[in-house]
Amino acid sequence: MKTSCVIILKKKQNYLLQLRDNKKKVLERNQWGFFGGQKSKYESKLSCIKREIQEELNFKIKYPKFVGQLKYKNYLINVFFMITKKNFFEINEGSAYGFYNKSQILKNNCKLKNSSKKYSVAKSSLKVFKYFLKNI
């Protein structure tokens, strides 16, 4: 089973999502998801999420809260949470990002900013978000 780490970043009443790249090797491509990635064998969960967020958003996180872990297909997903005041991120992975409220995420109604184009929230991310809401 592969192990991954994701973070749910919240600003006011909104949550940060990544529009995943539309490339063949990317799982759940061209869909909204949370930032994070695969943990290496000898890496701690905390080190993994810090590294992934630094790589993907050029953002140093210090004290994310560990929410728990859940299984999705052949993945064990470690879920972290942190509140941020940051408005702008330097995105290094994915094609876009945006802040969406709880209702938009749960109703799968997340449109790309300055566009009428709507992308689906990835099934794994919906499962992670529902788990987060139950356990936070």
pTM more than 0.85:
yes
41-60: pLDDT as tens digits: 999 999 999 999 999 999 99
- CA 75 – CA 106 distance, rounded (Å): 22
Give me the number of domains the chain comprises. 1
Q: Give 114's pLDDT tier (boundaries 50, 70, 90).
A: confident
Q: Give 82's pLDDT tier (boundaries 50, 70, 90).
A: very high
3-class DSSP string for the chain: CEEEEEEEEEECCEEEEEECCCCCCCCCCCCEECEEEECCCCCCHHHHHHHHHHHHHCCCCCCCEEEEEEEECCEEEEEEEEECCCCCCCCCCCCEEEEEEHHHHHCCCEECCCCCCEECECHHHHHHHHHHHHHC
Q: Which residue segment(s) compose the domain that 40 sits in?
A: 2-135
3-33: pLDDT as tens digits: 999 999 999 999 999 998 777 877 787 899 9
Q: Give 118's pLDDT tier (boundaries 50, 70, 90).
A: confident
Query: How much is the pLDDT for 7?
Result: 97
CATH number at 128 reads 3.90.79.10
Query: How much is the pLDDT for 44?
Result: 97
For the segment 50-76, the average pLDDT, to the nearest whole number, is 95
Evaluate if residue 71 carries a pLDDT over 90: yes
Q: Give 1's pLDDT tier (boundaries 50, 70, 90).
A: confident
